[in-house]
Structure 1
Amino acid sequence: MINSNTSVNDADVAIAAARAGAVAVRARYGQRLARIDKGAGDFATDADLAAEEAILGVIRAARPEDAVHGEEGGQQGAAGAARQWLVDPLCGTLNYAVGTALVAVNVALRGGPAAVADPFSGEVFFTDGETAWVRRDGGDTRLAPTADTRLVDVNLDPPFPSAPGFRAVELLAHPGFVERLRPRVVSTTLALAWVAAGKRAAYVTDGGDLTESVHFAAGIALCRASGCVVTGVDGAPLGPAGRGLVAAADAETHDLLMSLIRGQGGC
């Protein structure tokens, strides 16, 4: 456990918090899970709650004055606080609940360091806000995006606020997409870390402004720090008026995706 100490940097706090959440997620995998209904087919489990509590324990110990917004517990501290942590304790709950080990634990300090932990590979992807790394087997390796895999992860979960101008499912069916790229649907923002790490060429999702989202903030931070091209689905910078997200390993892949999206006629 990291104790309150100004000499401990925020990246270390993010890593420790994400790891604590990952331990809780891994410990409950394959067990009978209690479900908490959120409506519209969405739910949390007791694993989500346990992971968030583990994450909050690390943040409270290291940064007791900071505000936190957790997916399950909501806002703790002032929403407009200068220092606020965004926590998604188990991204990919539907995968996890049916025994599919494709999930992520996301922890981000708004506008600063962030970490994404894969509970099952043991990898922790992290950024200090300027550079991005993956920690595995006790060593750190700089993240190096590449589009060589040609694999593009597309989020098909609702809502779809940009329809009819942009529909992710139509992007996948576009002849120009299947000619040069291959689709994947992992259903977790772990795929954003994979873009930063060179395991995916790009990630595409509809939505509004995702920079303040507990689901996306950590992955966006990783992609930016690793040198990916990151915009909305309309090609505009992310921000309060943002529309979804396109994170690509390089400019060529981003340009291709934008041409296909604009070809739908609405963006």
Structure 2
Amino acid sequence: MLIRDEEVALKAAQAGAAVVAAMYGASLTRFPKSAGDFATAADIEAENAILDVIRTARPDDAVTGEESGRTGSEGAERMWLVDPLCGTLNYAARNMLVAVNVALRMGSDIMVAASADPFSEEVFWTDGDHAYLRHDGADERLTPSPDSRLVDVNLDPPFPNGPSFRAVRLLADTGFVERFRPRVVSTTLAVAWVASGRRAAYVTDGHLRDNVHFASGIALCQAAGCVVTGLQGQPLHTGAGGLVVAADGETHAALLELIANQLPFDR
């Protein structure tokens, strides 16, 4: 019996998460990348575990991995996007705020996705229609909520809309601190938290099409019914780019207004 795509994503994310959890706290070799970025041995071993699952279940599919790059047929319609350890700097500093992300793109659409928390053993996942949390073998539908008022702001580069817009300036905006409470966790696990009601919203700059860090979280939020746009409220992956994902329309509108305080963007 053929395993469903969402189960491949779940199994792959869980395999990567098991490696990340097992290697946590060890003295790990670092592999320099660019602009101060690096991978660790855990990133590489987790990606290998994820790729083993995908290649066994879907040998004809292409894969883009954060560490290994693109493999598979150039003409493949099905592409798996793999981020084996989102939050490498957190992890290397023995901070448990990390995620393992796996998503399947067909054409221009993400069809299924999973974001695993290696330490809570929770997996946020979507079959493309609905979003769920799997824990201890049970699935629970995700329900976004603005009630926490917590908004995660990504402060990591690149900043393609700088110097006009910098997400960090939201933290000093009086309108922002009157309405919201900022958080900075430096992992896209926080995007999944918007889908689950643990965050009211998430904001980042950047061009995110086929981004292995963000594909899973975006798909989760869309399936859960969040409001998901670019920085100007435009469709994703167009115009100025960026990401504003909010639990509801009111929160989304408030954030767009605060972002607009910085911008001379064309409207």
Contact 1:211 1:220 in 2 (8 A): no
1:46-125 pair list within 5 angstroms: 46-110=41-105, 111-125=110-124
Runs of at least 5 residues in structure 1 that lack an aligned partner in the other structure: none
Which residue matches 1:199? 198
Paired with 2:137 and 2:15, the residues of 1 have a C-alpha distance of: 16
Paired with 1:126 and 1:241, the residues of 2 have a C-alpha distance of: 28
Paired with 2:261 and 2:240, the residues of 1 have a C-alpha distance of: 19
1:75-224 pair list within 5 angstroms: 75-110=70-105, 111-208=110-207, 210-224=208-222
1:138-165 Cα shifts (integer Å, max 9, x gaps):
2110000001000000000111111122
Paired with 1:169 and 1:239, the residues of 2 have a C-alpha distance of: 21
Paired with 2:231 and 2:262, the residues of 1 have a C-alpha distance of: 11
Which of 1, 8, 13 in structure 2 is aligned with 1:13? 8
Paired with 2:222 and 2:240, the residues of 1 have a C-alpha distance of: 16
Identify the range of structure 1 (193-202 vs 236-245) with the bigger mean alpha-carbon deviation: 236-245
Amino acid of the residue matched to residue 191 of structure 1?
A
Amino acid of the residue matched to residue 41 of structure 2?
D
Task: Provide closer, same or farther for how the CA distance between residues 80 and 223 of structure 1 changes in structure 2, counting only shifts above 3 A.
Answer: farther
Instruction: Output the aligned Cα RMSD.
Output: 1.1
- TM-score if structure 1 supplies the norm length? 0.95
1:232-256 Cα shifts (integer Å, max 9, x gaps):
1121101254511001010000000
Kindly report structure 1 stretches of 4+ aligned residues shifted beyond 3 Å. Answer: none
Runs of at least 5 residues in structure 2 that lack an aligned partner in the other structure: none
In percent, how many aligned pairs have the same letter? Answer: 65
What SS class does the counterpart of residue 112 from structure 1 fall into?
strand
What SS class does the counterpart of residue 111 from structure 2 fall into?
coil
Paired with 1:83 and 1:176, the residues of 2 have a C-alpha distance of: 43
What SS class does the counterpart of residue 133 from structure 2 fall into?
strand
Paired with 1:264 and 1:29, the residues of 2 have a C-alpha distance of: 40
Tell me the CA shift for residue 80 of structure 1: 5.0
Amino acid of the residue matched to residue 134 of structure 2?
R
Tell me the CA shift for residue 15 of structure 1: 0.1
Paired with 2:140 and 2:76, the residues of 1 have a C-alpha distance of: 33
Contact 2:146 2:201 in 1 (8 A): yes
1:219-230 pair list within 5 angstroms: 219-230=217-228
Which of 241, 245, 252 in structure 2 is aligned with 1:243? 241
- TM-score if structure 2 supplies the norm length? 0.95
Task: Provide closer, same or farther for how the CA distance between residues 135 and 242 of structure 1 changes in structure 2, counting only shifts above 3 A.
Answer: farther
What SS class does the counterpart of residue 233 from structure 1 fall into?
coil
Tell me the CA shift for residue 79 of structure 1: 4.7
Amino acid of the residue matched to residue 164 of structure 2?
G
Contact 1:164 1:266 in 2 (8 A): no
Contact 1:146 1:249 in 2 (8 A): yes
Paired with 1:196 and 1:86, the residues of 2 have a C-alpha distance of: 20
Contact 1:88 1:106 in 2 (8 A): yes
1:216-239 Cα shifts (integer Å, max 9, x gaps):
000000000000000011211012
Count of paired positions: 261
